[in-house]
């Protein structure tokens, strides 16, 4: 049975077992949404999510041989050789989850990668189908984040199986129907944590990057708890002009192209428009997420000071 998930076709087997279960849960959530009039789903939005998922899957298939070839190159020159014990699998899971955290962090903090990742965030709906609203072009570079793990001696097939299991879990947390998960809120990425991640509220931007474990966000300062006083608003700001698939795919790339075509720019400015944080501008007129959040915290602090003065007056 273990070979079923750890062999060369283990990745496909993980998805083959999980997809029917996921489909059943999605149908259940749709029924709940309809009966309760929660309006969690929209037909066009679901269709867009499915379309993007299929495009991502297709590119993944095209890239599979090359990506695994790169990872096996590192594995064949590995630093360590591990016995396939419980500890091996546990460590493989933990460091794969960390590699995803790093990938996800870069996707949010470098504009070219945000242009890829934005397809996962532009929806104003948040439901289980949002979980497979994939960054279509990510298979072009994702394997680069996992190659160091192969260099440390972890079999690439095992890495990708563990990653696939994490992806399946990561899909489950795209829901508004589960409010809290008790003590697991301190260990795992939960629906509450991931609702924060998909928010466009300034307080919540670029927070809760983990896929399975929330510990990375707490270690590296990217954790934010869902605040009942700040209701989550989903999507991106500013909104895309429409939800056509080509608009979603190329929205940020077109903006990048417009920026780098500006006359009189230095080469360093053009490079910054591609790889610096979203919102960066060469003339200082733009604002990155960090700048927005600094301003937000400053305003919040001033409001609190004013309230204290009124109380003491």
Arithmetic mean of pLDDT, 241-261: 93
Q: In Å, how far from its chain's centre is CA 101?
A: 8
108-136 burial, b for 16+ CB within 10 Å, e for fewer?
A: bbbbbbbbbbbbbbbbebbbbbbbbbbbb
Residues of the chain above pLDDT 70, percent: 96
Q: Please answer whether residues 136 and 249 qualify as being in contact, where contact means their C-beta atoms are separated by less than 8 angstroms.
A: yes
User: Could you give phi then psi for residue 190, rounded to 5 degrees?
Assistant: -115, 170
pTM for the whole structure: 0.94
Residues of the chain above pLDDT 90, percent: 85
Cα dihedral sign for 57, 197, 236, 142? negative
* pLDDT digits 0-9 by tens, 192-217: 999 999 999 999 999 999 999 999 99
Q: In Å, how far from its chain's centre is CA 308?
A: 39
Give yes or no for residue 243 having a pLDDT over 80: yes
* pLDDT digits 0-9 by tens, 68-109: 999 999 999 999 999 999 999 999 999 999 999 999 999 999
Mean pLDDT score across all residues of the chain: 93
Q: Is 191 exposed, middle or buried (0-12, 13-18, 19+ CB in 10 A)?
A: buried
Q: Look at the block and give the residue holding tokens 């794969």.
A: 96
Q: Is the peptide bond before 90 cis (omega within 30 degrees of 0)?
A: no
* Comparison of pLDDT for 244 and 143, the residue scoring more: 143
pLDDT at 3: 61
pLDDT at 313: 63
Q: Is 217 exposed, middle or buried (0-12, 13-18, 19+ CB in 10 A)?
A: buried
């Amino acid at each position: 049975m273990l070979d079923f998930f750890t062999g060369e076709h283990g990745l496909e087997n993980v998805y083959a077992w999980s997809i029917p279960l996921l489909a059943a849960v999605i149908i259940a959530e749709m029924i709940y949404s309809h009966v309760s009039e929660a309006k969690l789903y929209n037909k066009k939005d679901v269709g867009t999510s499915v379309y993007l998922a299929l495009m991502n899957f297709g590119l993944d298939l095209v890239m599979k041989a090359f990506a695994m070839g790169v990872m096996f190159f590192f594995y064949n020159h590995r630093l360590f050789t591990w016995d396939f014990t419980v500890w091996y699998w546990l460590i493989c899971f933990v460091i794969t989850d960390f590699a995803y955290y790093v990938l996800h962090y870069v996707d949010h903090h470098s504009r070219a990668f945000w242009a890829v990742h934005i397809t996962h965030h532009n929806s104003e709906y948040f439901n289980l189908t949002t979980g497979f609203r994939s960054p279509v072009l990510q298979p072009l570079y994702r394997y680069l984040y996992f190659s160091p793990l192969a260099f440390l001696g972890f079999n690439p097939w095992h890495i990708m199986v563990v990653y696939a299991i994490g992806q399946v879990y990561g899909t489950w947390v795209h829901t508004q129907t589960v409010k809290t998960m008790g003590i697991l809120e301190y260990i795992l990425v939960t629906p509450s944590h991931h609702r924060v991640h998909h928010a466009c509220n300034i307080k919540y931007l670029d927070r809760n990057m983990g896929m399975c474990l929330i510990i990375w966000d707490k270690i590296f300062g990217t954790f934010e708890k869902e605040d009942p006083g700040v209701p989550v608003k989903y999507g991106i700001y500013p909104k895309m002009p429409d939800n056509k698939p080509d608009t979603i795919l190329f929205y940020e790339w077109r903006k990048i192209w417009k920026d780098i075509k500006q006359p009189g720019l230095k080469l360093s400015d053009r490079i910054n428009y591609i790889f610096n944080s979203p919102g960066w501008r060469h003339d200082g007129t733009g604002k990155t997420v960090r700048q927005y959040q600094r301003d937000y915290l400053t305003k919040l602090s001033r409001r609190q000071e004013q309230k204290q003065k009124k109380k003491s007056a």
